[in-house]
Amino acid sequence: MTKFAVGQAVSRLEDEPLLKGQGRYTDDVKLPNATYAYILRSPHAHARIRSLDVAAAKKAPGVLTVLTGKDVAADKLGDMPCFIPIDNIDGSKRADTPHPILAKDTVRYVGDPVALIVAETLNQARDAAELIEVDYEERPAAVHTLNSAKPGAPQAWDHVKNNICFDWQSGDKAAVEAAFKNAAHVTKVTLWNNRCVVNSLETRGAIADYDAKTDRSTLYTGSQGASLIHPQIADAVLKIGKDKLRVITPNVGGGFGMKIFLYCEQCLIVWASRKVKRPVRWIAERSEAFLSDTQGRDNHSVAELALDKDARFLALRVTTHANLGAYLSNFGPYIPTVGTRMLAGVYKTPAIYINVKGVLTNTVPMDAYRGAGRPEAIYLLERTVDTAARELGLSPDEIRRRNFIQPADIPYKTALGDLYDSGDFPGNMQRSMTKADWTSFAARRAESEKRGMLRGIGMAYYIEICGNGPGEGAIIKVDPKGTVTVFLGMQDNGQGHVTSNTQILSEKLGIDASAIRIVQGDTDFTPEGMTGGSRFSATGGTTLLMAADKVVEKGKEIAAESLEVAARDLEYKDGKFTVAGTDKAIDIFQVAAAAQSKKDLPQGEEAGLNAKVSYALPSATYPNGCHIVEVEIDPATGKVEVLRYTVCDDFGSVINPMLLAGQVHGGIAQGLGQALFEHTVYDEQSGQLLSGSLMDYALPRADQLPNIDFNFHNSPCTTNPLGIKGSGEAGAIGAPPAVMNAIADALYHAAGIKHIDMPATPQRVWQALSGSKAGKAA
Amino acid sequence: MYNFNYHRPTSIAEAAALFVKASEARYLAGGQSLIASLKMRLSQPSDLIDLSGIAELRAIKADSANLTIGALATHNAVASSKDVQRAIPALAQLAAGIGDRQIRNAGTLGGALANNDPAACYPAAALALGAVIHTDKRAIAAADFFIGLYETALAPGELITSVSFPIPKTANYQKFQQPASRFALVGVFIAQTAQGVRCAVTGAGPGVFRSSVIEQALTQRFDAAALDKVNVAAADLNSDIHATADYRAHLVKVLAQRAVAAA
């Protein structure tokens, strides 16, 4: 293998072992003498547990233990943490939702864990679960996001009035009200951002091992960063101390945000393993995933946009009800609040005011899903901008052109406080329109109409924020035998971290890719970090560069001793430290060997050519781009087909264009899935998840996706050394508004319909077209 | 899954004997519905009698009047059979549209008919074409076979051996997929048979049924336009999270028109 440069479309180093079945996912971790856990879950959305009898289950064949909320209380285990404080408008704090790892006296959603059974086989554990007698006293369930916030609605929690966990605001209310008074036109849009079940291909899992000699547990679990869940399990919940737990994350088959957070099962399995003093395995079934993985979105919003007589935006006012589920997940309240910053979009809207009410319901807890608040914000904004254009008789591009933050305005601080450092929004839109043949759309529409089909075109200009969050760790160790090992805090979930980090380091240190090893997901070795918020390349890449700089710096000191010159006279290039202007050189691995002995080490330095860096970017970065979608609708059935998809993105600098295209394609697939297919339906009375399997919950499939014409128009980010902006979530943010704007264009042109909600299922489209009031979509 | 005794007989007689001997036996054909229900513990047979070892159940043959397909012919075998494609192309097309590739390689004609899922495709073909379902005991006309939701005229232990489809003058099947399962949200099979025009509808109601309003209109004139004024009643149709009865009724008519146009 040769040196890999940043910017090359290097094939994924991960692929060969994964495609050959040599990957090691959680379920592949086979430990001798392992036992199997089954989790008995609540069949009710809301019920008091009158009694819970596990005597028969405990005596069932093969059963080692049965644990319930009583055991949780007896062992004084802590609750599941939520990290996000929220201040209400009136200055009070948000409500809390104490969340034990097994329900104590009340179950609050269908799927809430009630008992854990550990047995010699999974079938024995399941058999025993059927012997558990639970006497539930059913209570009315709060289900619907909006209706649950109304007075008199069923209460998910007795202490939370009208289920409103928080009532949060942001922006300048007075300025917005003043602007509305002077508006020439106000556009009002009311819409739903539909709830999504994440559905990672690999379901969640946890396998715990226990070593009695050292009283130490090892947890193997899919995650987006082992270090984030490590202290939560060890300190907050089980209270055994971090040194008694090692968390290992093997290969991960998709996370999309959902695998960032702590889950009851991870704590339960470690706890149970310490009790039975044997390994315990638990791998979620798909039906369990539907009932227990955090879900995403589920917001109801009203947006009002004030415009002047020239269609320039004066102010934006937004009221959102956000479903939080039954318990606050790790970052649950963060998503619908902080995510709203992107409501400023790429426009010079001088005043913005946002009010978000977080609503507790008897449904699965909500948290980040690919985009985490930004898709919700951009969908609302871009649907509103399109609607304003339609009302004012402007084209979608014209209204955007009149309101864009121009390149000359940058750096630009938005009304919500974000400082955009770079970007060419008009240029991106123009490039996307050119590639999409925007101006010749009318001819294509006419051709569709000849065949009796409705055709629409739509655009969405998204901007998002990446690189936020805590510090990322990177450790580099140079082995004299010729390898460089990198220990990362971040966790690959399929993105290609090994490939892109190898590229960054191969270029930076000038060494062969084959000499580089990337280690992730082991709290005994890897530093702190978390993959999420599209921050891997910008934050993690920068951290790695800084660690590499430290290696070179330390290497120079050591090389100087060996070569008996001053460190400042040394140059580092292509893996060698060379005395400037001579051919006297020593390579990095020889330096690493020298670093083992005290003789050549600078005073106070540890042995070995190693470096450790922990770093958080001082400012965020703002990827952005223009998605253009063309759809055709069959008016007889309401079926929507996406015919063309064009995107022009600004991702700053590119490490690997092939990995980047993969991120964009995947993001668009998920965004298109949300827009057209993914329909999470809870029964409003019972709180049962009606779309609880892949037989009823439709994910996008390959034959429903168009070819994606993916283009760059990059303006490197000025606030990180790699110039990177982050791409992981971009597709999922841009796709829903672009698809829905295209559908609205077709429906308005054909029938004057201004809006339908996602997902635009055939039935919804047909009902809108037929004006049928009878069957409001379920 | 609960534990069960597993058998793999090599003849129909052996299968039937095993069935009688067991306390609560189930036949296993392609397993595309049964295995899923076993895994979810929704079904608890004492014995599972796997039919895949009975070679005679796979044969496909056509004569001038009938196409006869063995009960264990997979959807893929039917879709790719030259005999089927020649005799009743609509049936090959129907089989090619069931589920996905993996399902088509495992699922069988006999299994689909015996299961009588209200959204399955094959029952529509059997009913519209006036098929005869042969069992190890008798021959049952399709019109008498489909009783209701997952219910058929089969007696306990009675085994479908083959199905004879009279070859129609023309036929076509149109399916509008339920987006997740790819079963028929509505499926309409139209055929011009020796007995007249037949229109069988699946996916829309509690079980497969013939639409008399559509048959009457098409009997007068076999033309898509003949259905323009037909009103398909929504009253007895299903409403669920995917489609209301109104939408299903509308789709029945749209798909019938498309089937006539394509037949």
Percent helix, percent strand, percent coil in chain B, to nearest 5: 40, 25, 35
pLDDT at A535: 84
The shortest CB-CB distance from A694 to any of B180, B239, B244 is to B180
Which 5-34 residues of chain B touch chain A by CB within 8 A? none
Domain co-membership, A316 together with A364: yes
Quote the pLDDT of residue A774. Answer: 38
Long-range residue pairs from A211-219, CB within 8 A, at least 24 positions apart, any chain: A212/A277, A215/A244, A216/A243, A216/A244, A216/A245, A216/A246, A217/A244, A217/A245, A217/A246, A217/A270, A217/A273, A217/A274, A218/A245, A218/A246, A218/A247, A218/A248, A219/A245, A219/A246, A219/A247, A219/A248, A219/A266, A219/A269, A219/A270
- Tell whether the model's pLDDT for residue A103 goes beyond 70: yes
Distance from C-alpha of A629 to C-alpha of A544, rounded to nearest angstrom: 37
Q: Which residues of A366-393 are buried (b: 16+ CB within 10 A; e: fewer)?
A: bbbbbbbbbbbbbbbbbbbbbbbbbbbe
Dump pLDDT digits (tens) for A309-353: 999 999 999 999 999 999 999 999 999 999 899 999 999 999 999
Whether A766 and B239 lie within 8 Å, measured CB to CB: no
Helix (H) or strand (E) run with residue A206 in it: strand A205-211
Are A444 and A310 members of one domain?
yes
Clarify whether residues A116 and A131 are in a common domain: yes
Residues A133 and A101 in one domain: yes
Judging contacts by C-beta atoms under 8 Å, the chain A residues touching residue B247 are 763, 766-767, 775
Distance (Å, rounded) from C-alpha A625 to C-alpha B68?
58
Give the CATH number of the domain where residue A503 resides. Answer: 3.30.365.10
- Residue A2 binned pLDDT confidence (cut-offs 50, 70, 90): low
The set of residues, in sequence order, having a beta carbon less than 8 Å from that of B97 and lying 6+ positions away, is: B121, B173, B175
Residues from chain B that touch A703, judged by Cβ atoms under 8 A, are none
Chain A contacts in chain B segment 157-176 (CB below 8 A): 176
Q: Any idea where the domains of chain B sit in the sequence?
A: 5-53, 55-262
Residue A540 DSSP code: I
pLDDT beyond 70 at A568: yes
Instruction: Calculate the CA dihedral of residues A354, A360, A363, A364 and round it to 10 degrees.
Output: 70
| DSSP, residue by residue, A597-642 | SGGGSPTTPPSSEEEEEEE--SS-B--EEEEEEEEEEETTTTEEEE
Please enumerate in sequence order all residues whose Cβ is within 8 A of that of B216, keeping only pairs 6 or more positions apart, or say none. Answer: none
Q: How confident is the model at residue A777 (pLDDT cuts 50, 70, 90)?
A: very low
Strand ordering across the sheet containing A639-650: A454-463, A624-634, A639-650, A708-712
pLDDT tier, A469 (very low <50, low <70, confident <90, very high otherwise) = confident
* Among B residues 229-258, those touching chain A with beta carbons less than 8 Å apart: 239-247, 250-251, 254
Pair (A343, A449) in one structural domain: yes
CA distance A125 to chain B (A): 12
B1 chain-A contacts, CB cut-off 8 A: 123
pLDDT band at A763 (very low <50, low <70, confident <90, very high): very high
Domain count along chain A: 3
A195 contact residues in B (CB cutoff 8 A): none
| Domain-located, residue A519 | yes
- In this complex, the residue of B1, B2, B241 whose CB is nearest that of residue A681 is B241
Q: Does A12 fall in a domain?
A: no
Residue type at position A289: A
Q: How far apart are CA B263 and CA B258, in angstroms?
A: 8
Q: Per residue in A37-82, pLDDT tens? A: 999 999 999 999 999 999 999 999 999 999 999 999 999 999 999 9
- The alpha-carbon gap from B67 to the nearest alpha carbon of chain A, in Å, equals 32
For residue A457, the cross-strand partners are A630
Minimal CA–CA distance to B22: which of B153, B160, B113, B156? B156
B41: nearest CA partner in chain A: A126
pLDDT digits (tens, 9 = 90+) for A627-677: 999 999 999 999 999 999 999 999 999 999 999 999 999 999 999 999 999
The yes or no reply on domain B55-262 and CATH 3.40.430.10 is: no
Q: Chain A residues with CB inside 8 Å of B252's CB? A: none
Q: Give residues with Cβ within 8 angstroms of A441, minimum separation 6.
A: A455, A457, A630
Q: Nearest-CA distance from B223 to chain A in Å?
A: 18
Pairing of the two strands A351-360 and A164-171: antiparallel
A407 exposure class (CB count in 10 Å sphere: 0-12, 13-18, 19+): middle
What are the CA-CA distances from residue A143 to residues A41, A153, A310, A360, B111 (Å)? 18, 10, 43, 9, 39
CB contact under 8 A, A763 and B180: no
Closest Cα in chain B to A286: B40
Domain that holds residue A506: 469-615
Tokens coding B12: 């129909």
- CATH 3.30.43.10 applies to domain B5-53: yes
- Cβ neighbors of B82 (< 8 A, separation 6 or more) are none
Point out the domain boundary residue: A239, A261, A292. A292
DSSP state of A86: -
Q: What is the pLDDT of residues A408-451, one digit of tens each?
A: 999 999 999 999 999 999 999 999 999 999 999 999 999 999 99
Tell me the shortest Cα–Cα distance from A731 to chain B, in angstroms: 22
- Please say which residue of A256, A276, A292 terminates a domain: A292
B241–A778 C-beta distance less than 8 A: yes
Q: How high is the pLDDT of residue A776?
A: 38
Say which CATH number the domain at A42 has: 3.90.1170.50
CA A392, A394, A400, A402 dihedral sign is negative
Neighbours of B201 (CB within 10 A): 30
In-domain check, residue A687: yes
Tell whether A214 is covered by a domain.
yes
| DSSP sequence for A140-197 | -----TTGGGSTTPPPSSTTSGGGEEEEEEEE-HHHHHHHHHT-SEEEEEEEEE--B-
Q: Kindly provide the ipTM of the predicted complex, given to two decimals.
A: 0.96
What spatial distance separates the first Cα and last Cα of chain B, rounded to whole Å? 44
pLDDT in tens, A600-638: 777 777 899 999 999 999 889 999 999 999 999 999 999
Which is it for strands A483-488 and A516-520: parallel, antiparallel or unpaired?
Answer: parallel
Residue A361 sits in the same domain as residue A400: yes
Residues of chain A with Cβ-Cβ distance to B239 below 8 Å are: 775
> Residue A265: its pLDDT value, please?
98
In three-state secondary structure terms, A288 is helix
What value does the mean pLDDT take over residues A690-714? 96
Of A615, A638, A664, the domain-final residue: A615
Q: What is the mean pLDDT of the segment spanning A145-174?
A: 98
Which residue has tokens 């990446």?
Answer: A466
Does the distance separating the beta carbons of A775 and B244 come in below 8 Å? yes
Task: State yes or no: pLDDT of A772 exceeds 70.
Answer: no
**What CA dihedral angle connects A600, A604, A605 and A611, to 10 degrees?**
-160
Task: Sort out which chain A residues have CB atoms less than 8 A from B244's CB and list them.
Answer: 763, 774-775, 778
Q: Indicate the length of chain A as a whole number.
A: 778
The predicted-structure confidence for B223-243, as pLDDT tens digits, reads as follows 999 999 999 999 999 999 999
Q: Based on the domain organization, do A68 and A203 belong to the same domain? A: yes
What is the token pair recorded at A14?
Answer: 């991960």
| B167 pLDDT above the threshold of 90 | yes
Residue A633's closest CA among A380, A775, A486, A452?
Answer: A452
Q: Say how many CA atoms lie within 13 Å of A491 toward its Cβ.
A: 33
Interval B32-51: pLDDT, tens: 999 999 999 999 999 999 99
Cβ separation A696–B181 shorter than 8 A:
yes
